[in-house]
A and B are shown apart, each in its own frame.
Chain A
C-alpha cells in the first residue's frame, strides 16, 4: 500500500500550499493517520479549523470530500443506506398487475421478486456507504459527531475499525481503498470509549500568535504585516480574559477583513472597541473586553 505522505514536514508544506496553516501537532497526526490507516477525531473550540482541515486534506490528496453532517436524530437510513420503499412498492405493484397470481407459481415468484427488490438498484446509498464503495480516492468527513446520540455512534464503529459495512440483505461490503476519515466534535458530550479507541485524537486549540498572524496574512486580502501582527496580539490578549465565548479564528478573520475595509493601518483602543462586536458575540463579553482593553493589563 502506498502512503500518501513522505514525512510530517511534507504534510505541513502541502497544507500550507492550499492555505491551511497547521502546526507540528496537526501535521503529525495527519501523517500518522495515513500510516496507521486510522480515523482522526478532531476536537476543539468552535471555529479553529477542524472542518477546514478535512477539506484541505482532501484537496492536497486530490480526493473527493464526502461529508456526513451529524444532527440529533440522525439514523442508519440517513447515514448508511436505505431501501427505496417507494420504488420497491411500485415494483411489487407492477408484478401484481402483470397477472400470474396463480397459486402454484407464487412461491418461486416471491423469491425472485425479493432478490430483485433487495438488489443494488433499490439501494439508496448514504455518505458512509458511499465512502466505502467509492472507486476513486475520497476523504470522509463525519462532522460534529457529538450531536448524535450515543446509540447512533454504534453505526460508525464497523466503518471506523474495519472500513466495511454489513447489509443483511446484501452481505458485507468492504472498502476497495481505505479512505482518510475525519470526525469532528465540539465536545458537547463525552464520546463513547469504543469510538475514541478507534481514532487518533487531535485537539486543535486556538493558534499561537505566529500561526494566527500567518492565517490572517494568507486569508485576508490587502492586510499588511503590521496590521496582522497587531490583530493577532489583540485577539490573544482578549482570549486571556474570562469570557463566555472567546473569539475564534473565523471571527479573527472577519475582524481583520473589517479593519481592512475601514482602511485602518494601526488599531487604537477606540477603533478596537468600536469593532469589538465582530469579534465577540455576547453583550457582557463586549462590555468586559472594552473595560479590559482600556486598562494597561495584568499587575
Chain B
C-alpha cells in the first residue's frame, strides 16, 4: 500500500502537481484515519492533502483512477465482483419487465447472451431510470463487445472509445428519452421544459461515456501496466496548454481557466497600483495623528503617489493558426482595461481594421471576440498574413495617434509568407511610443525559421516574449502594468 501510494504521488509530480514532502507525509497520515473499504473517503483524503488548487483536480482524478480504481484484484476496494452484481441486476430487470423468455438464468454469461437489441433496450432503461449500477454494467458490457480490444495492441484509448460509442448510439437514446418525455406530457413540451429534459438526458449520456472511458482504461491498465498507462494519460495542466495546439477539450478548459485568471489579475493589479510604491513621509498628517498620543509621533503617515495610467494599443494577427492566442490576449487585456486610461484594438490578416468599438460598451467579451472574427475587415488580397502591409496601414491611419503615453502590443508569429517586412514602421513607432512589445505564440526555437521574421522586428522592440500558454501570458501582463 505504501509503495502504491509512493508511486501515485510520484506520478502526480510528473503530471506537474507541486506535491511537497510535508504533503506527502500528511497523505500517509490521513489514510490511517479512513476505513479502507470506503473508496470515496479514501479519494477525498488524498485530494485534501495533495491537491491545493481546483485547477489540478482533473489531473488528480485521472491519476487516481489509474492507480486505485482500476486494479481489480490487487486492490480490492469496492466492486471486484461486478459480474455477479450484473447478473443480479439483469435478473431484476427482466423479472420486473415480466418477460419469461428464459434467456438468463444459468448463471455465468447472462449479459453475454443478450442480443444487441436487448442490450440497447437495457441501455435505454438504465438511462431513463438513472440507474447507476445498471448504467455501469451496460457500459462494461458494451466495451467488452464493441471496442475490439486485444492484448498488446498499440492502439490509443480514443479509438476504442469511438468504436464503443458508435455502437451504443447515445444520441439516439437521448432522442428516445425526449420522445418519452413529450409523450408523458401529453404530446408537447414548452421550450423551457424541453431544455430541462434535454439537460438531464445529456448528463446521463455523458455519464455513460465516462463509464465507458473508465472501463477502457481499466482494461488498458490491466494490459499495459499502471506506469505505462499513467504515462500515456499525462496531459498538460490548463495553464500549460499550448495555444497553438490545443484540442477542442483543452480549449474549453482554457476558456474556463481564463476567467478566474483575469479576475485574479485585475484584483492584483488594482492593489499594486494602490500600494506598489510607499511614498515619502507625510509630515503634516503624522503630526496631526500624534496629538492623540500626547505629542508622540507613534503612527507615521505616508503619501501614496498615483502614477498616470498608460494607454494601450493592441495590434493582433488573427489568421488561423494564431487566432486562439489573439483571442485570449485580447480578452485578458480587456478584462484588465481598468488599469489603462484607454485600450484600442486593431486586428489584421493582410488588411487591418480597428475593432475597439466592438469591445466598448459590450459587457460580454466573448460576444465582442465573436464580432471581431465575423465582422472585422481584415482581408486585403488573399487572406494570408502580410505583416508588412498591415503595419503600413496601421502607420498610415493611426500612427499619428501614438504618443509618449502609448504602449503598443503586437501579437503574432511573424510568419510573413515571404512578403516584405516594413519593419521601419516598428522603428518609427518606438520613437513615438512609451513601449513597443511583441508577443509570439510560437516556441522560441522556431523563431526566424522558414518565413518567420520575428527577429527583424525584434531589433526595434523594447521586448519580445514567448507566449505559448496562459502561464506565460499572465507573466507578461505583470510586465505590462
Contact = CB atoms under 8 A, between A and B. Distances in A.
A28 B196 contact: no
Contacts of B51: 201
Interface string B188-211: 001110111011101000000000
B296 interface: yes
B263 A188 contact: yes
Interface string B335-347: 0000000000000
Interface string A229-264: 010011011001010100000000000000000000
A294 B194 CA distance: 10
Interface stretch (A29-37, A119-127, A170-178): A29-37
Interface in B35-86: 35, 38, 40-41, 44-45, 47-49, 51-54, 57
B48 A32 contact: yes
Given A188-B267, A190-B264, A240 B199 contact: yes
A106 interface: no
B33 A35 contact: yes
B30 interface: yes
A282 interface: yes
Contact of A36 (B30, B52, B195): B30
A288 B364 contact: yes
B192 A293 contact: yes
A261 B44 CA distance: 40
Interface string A274-299: 00000000111000100011111111
Given A233-B199, A297-B195, A24 B190 contact: no
B54 A233 contact: no
B29 interface: yes
A205 B48 CA distance: 14
A8 B274 CA distance: 45
A35 B34 CA distance: 10
A291 to B, nearest CB: 11
B247 interface: no
A113 interface: no
Interface stretch (B18-26, B121-129, B321-329, B440-448): B18-26
Interface residues of B, number: 52
A200 B49 contact: yes
A25 B20 CA distance: 22
Main secondary structure of the interface of B (DSSP, over half): helix
A29 B50 CA distance: 12
B48 A28 contact: yes
Nearest to A196: B52
B195 A237 contact: yes
Contacts of A292: 195
A295 B26 contact: no
A61 to B, nearest CB: 17
A66 B136 CA distance: 46
A267 B195 CA distance: 13
Contacts of B199: 233, 236-237, 240, 297-298
Interface in A19-53: 24-25, 28-29, 31-32, 35-36, 38, 41, 43-44
11 contacts: A24-B41, A28-B41, A28-B48, A38-B26, A189-B268, A201-B47, A233-B200, A237-B195, A242-B366, A268-B190, A295-B191
Interface of B: 18, 20, 22-23, 26, 29-30, 33-35, 38, 40-41, 44-45, 47-49, 51-54, 57, 190-192, 194-196, 198-200, 202, 255, 260, 263-264, 267-268, 271, 274-275, 292-294, 296, 298, 362-364, 366-367
3 A-B pairs closest in CB distance: A297-B195, A284-B363, A28-B44
Interface of A: 7-8, 24-25, 28-29, 31-32, 35-36, 38, 41, 43-44, 72, 85-86, 89, 93, 149, 187-190, 193, 196-197, 199-203, 205, 230, 233-234, 236-237, 240, 242, 244, 267-269, 272, 282-284, 288, 292-299
